[in-house]
Amino acid sequence: MKLTYTPSPKPESVSSQDWDDWTWQLRHSLKSEKDFSTYFDLAESERKVFATSENAKEVFNIRTTPYYASLASKTIVNDPIRRILVPHEKELFDPKQAMLDPLGERKSKNNPVPRIIHRYSDRVLFLITDICSVYCRYCTRKHFTGSDQAFIKNSEYENAIEYIRKTTGLREVILSGGDPLTISDGQLERVLIDLRAIDHVEIIRIGTRMPVVAPMRVTDNLVKIIKKAKPVFLMTHFNHPRELTSEAAEAVERFVDNGIPVMNQMVLLNGVNNHPAIVQALSRRLLYLRAKPYYMFQCDPSIGTDYLRTTIEDSLQIQKELWGHLSGLAMPNLAVDIPDGGGKTYYTPDFETSSSLEKRSYIGWDGVEADYVNPEASHIVKPLDYELYLDEWESLKAAKK
């Protein structure tokens, strides 16, 4: 079956020229109850959150592009895409676990200077804006996003660049936020040029949800700027196959056609995509566009997300059902961020039935039983030339003290 991608249902009252202009999409973002009422028949359970958010700051910001709103059901409250973007009173319920900063990004050991998160030795996150064009109800970074800080203050920017410059063991910078593609082409170009001027920065990643929520952001000029800064990996964040409209598909292909690899990070969400049929549909459609499904994250226990989280057992079951049926290229890694800044941990289905120093036994995904017998231990030698790469390895490990 040929995979197809259908256009977004643009309202008739909007011209194609406006709809296809990302700045129009941002300028016409829905923020208030009144704005949302133009796209949704709001239920009482949803209106309640708008009312609360006006008096209480603890409700996470509410915002969407008209384009993204058009992908959700106008009438059905529990529509998967609507669950991502329209707040629900369940956000306000007593949670089992609710952390303001689930990834421990505010801890000083991970946050050496403002805007830099340095948790792994060779790579840092650089949070260059607090703005997103859609505030996803499950967001893990509610402590940053939504403060309406557009491009960060110049002093913070200079300090962050200086930290990257002097930390010579760093190999990779991950632009994140907020959404780095909400800033202007000119600002993004400056960041990329400044990073490329640092000798030891090999890889740049851009983590963005714009191809999902405003794919018209991916203009020829944007792609040109990113292409020039190569090697840059574009990390998208599609969660549901219905997000892959023809506009989004074109945006993904525009990156790949220009030599910019695209990887997707999805989050498993209750009532949104927590079924193997949905994950496979999303993954195959992404792969067909040459976007590699990279991570399938367990939802972090950020404030107000209890009703959107799956159990880890649910997530393991979904992974196990997909295993063997779905191409390895289409299979994302299931990862959990250990709360409080413990870093990621991965799961893979466990097919091992017993193990000893001599051998390990397995029953494979479709029932084949076999052993893997270790080679003679006395045969094991180090590669003759490993010392050539030892300095490089030591400096990488030393990047984070």
Ligand X SMILES: *Cc1c(COP(=O)(O)O)cnc(C)c1O
The β-bridge partners of 268 are 298
Applying CB under 6 A, among 63, 83, 115, 123 the residue interacting with ligand X is 123
The tally of CA atoms less than 13 A away on the side-chain side of residue 348 is 8
CB distance 265 to 297 below 8 Å: yes
Strand 116-120 and strand 123-127: the pairing is antiparallel
Q: Pull the structure tokens for residue 21.
A: 């202009």
Instruction: Answer yes or no whether residue 46 interacts with ligand SF4 by CB under 6 A.
Output: no
Instruction: Answer yes or no whether residue 239 interacts with ligand SF4 by CB under 6 A.
Output: no
| Active-site residue set | 119-120, 123, 132, 136, 139, 141, 300, 337, 344
H or E element at residue 176: strand 172-176
Give dist(CA 274, CA 291) in Å, integer. 21
Smallest distance, Å, CB 209 to ligand SF4?
Answer: 4
Smallest distance, Å, CB 314 to ligand SF4?
Answer: 20
- Residues 86-105 close enough to bind ligand X by CB under 6 A: 103
Applying CB under 6 A, among 145, 167, 265, 270 the residue interacting with ligand SF4 is 145
CB distance 248 to 214 below 8 Å: no
Smallest distance, Å, CB 179 to ligand SF4?
Answer: 5
**Piece of 23-31, 82-90, 118-126, 351-359 that binds ligand X (CB under 6 A):** 118-126
Instruction: Answer yes or no whether residue 129 interacts with ligand SF4 by CB under 6 A.
Output: no
Applying CB under 6 A, among 105, 179, 300, 337 the residue interacting with ligand SF4 is 179
Quick check: bond before 66 cis, omega within 30?
no
Residue 325: Cβ within 10 Å count = 12
Q: Which is nearer to ligand X, 190 or 344 (CB)?
A: 344
Cα angle 213, 216, 219 (rounded to 5 degrees) comes to: 135
Instruction: Answer yes or no whether residue 347 interacts with ligand X by CB under 6 A.
Output: no
Instruction: Answer yes or no whether residue 181 interacts with ligand SF4 by CB under 6 A.
Output: no
Q: Which is nearer to ligand X, 68 or 297 (CB)?
A: 297
Instruction: Answer yes or no whether residue 279 interacts with ligand SF4 by CB under 6 A.
Output: no
Q: Pull the structure tokens for residue 269.
A: 């969400």
Closest CA to 293 of 352, 324, 333, 321: 333
Instruction: Answer yes or no whether residue 218 interacts with ligand SF4 by CB under 6 A.
Output: no
CA dihedral (204, 132, 339, 117) in degrees, to 10, reads 40
Binding site for ligand X (CB under 6 A): 103, 117, 119-120, 123, 125, 174, 344
Positions in the binding site for ligand SF4 (CB under 6 A): 132, 134-136, 139, 141, 145, 179, 209
